[in-house]
Amino acid sequence: MKKKIAISQSNYIPWKGYFDMINMVDVFVLYDEVQYTKNDWRNRNILKTNKGLEWITIPVKQNNLDQRVDETKVFLPKWNVKHWKTLQAVYGKAPFFRKYRERFEKLYLEIDTLLLSEINKKFIHEICDILNIKTPIISSTELSLVGDANERLIDACIKLEAKTYVSGPTAKTYIKDALFHENSIEIEWIDYSGYKEYNQTSTPFEHGVSVLDLIFNEGENANSFLKSFNS
């Protein structure tokens, strides 16, 4: 089989599609040595509440426009306590919240770093374990990547001996297909349409929310709503 990899910046409690991408590949690379972008998914995500959609955001400080994701730090204390209380209020009555309550309470209340990238990694690893995703996750800094945006992705593929690069559809705006083909690397685009609906605590159904919504509502059955577990 041809080895597949995906490369993405870390997100805070990402949506289910993010974990589908991780489960589709042989190695997943967290690419946090790039510019931090404000009002993006790095430090926030969406919860499904009875009153509608609600952003949940880690307060971070951006000192300059060149600041990298892995240099970005939290600037307000006890944000983790506030977020945990929010999750209890939103999902306390969800069918499987009690099953995972202790696990997430420990994760939130024992956070001991101010670095956003490290916080995101803790949640991504924990959620992968819950979803039974076994893909190795590494940091791009381990690969000492060189070149421009496209060349660094190709460099990662070469260093990890991957013949297929898996990417979300938004990357079509900057990916240069010809460069990948010149290096004998195929590009596989993820299709995020057609996800099955699951039980949510309110209507209308919303797909683009944090994966915690899926976990708290479907429990051990959560990964059956990911495409990669049904392909």
DSSP notation for 61-112: E--STT-BGGG-EE-STTHHHHHHHHHHHHHTTSTTHHHHHHHHHHHHHT--
Model-level pTM greater than 0.75?
Answer: yes
Report the helix count and the strand count for the chain, using DSSP H and E. Answer: 7, 9
pLDDT value for 75: 94
pLDDT value for 2: 85
pLDDT value for 80: 98
Q: What is the pLDDT of residues 143-190, one digit of tens each?
A: 999 999 999 999 999 999 999 999 999 999 999 999 999 999 999 999
pLDDT value for 120: 98
| C-alpha to C-alpha distance for 3 and 170, rounded to whole angstroms | 22
Q: What is the pLDDT of residues 106-125, one digit of tens each?
A: 999 999 999 999 999 999 99
pLDDT value for 216: 98
Instruction: Report residues of the chain scoring pLDDT below 50.
Output: none
| C-alpha to C-alpha distance for 222 and 65, rounded to whole angstroms | 38
What percent of the chain is helix, strand and coil (3-state, nearest 5)?
Answer: 40, 20, 40
pLDDT value for 230: 87
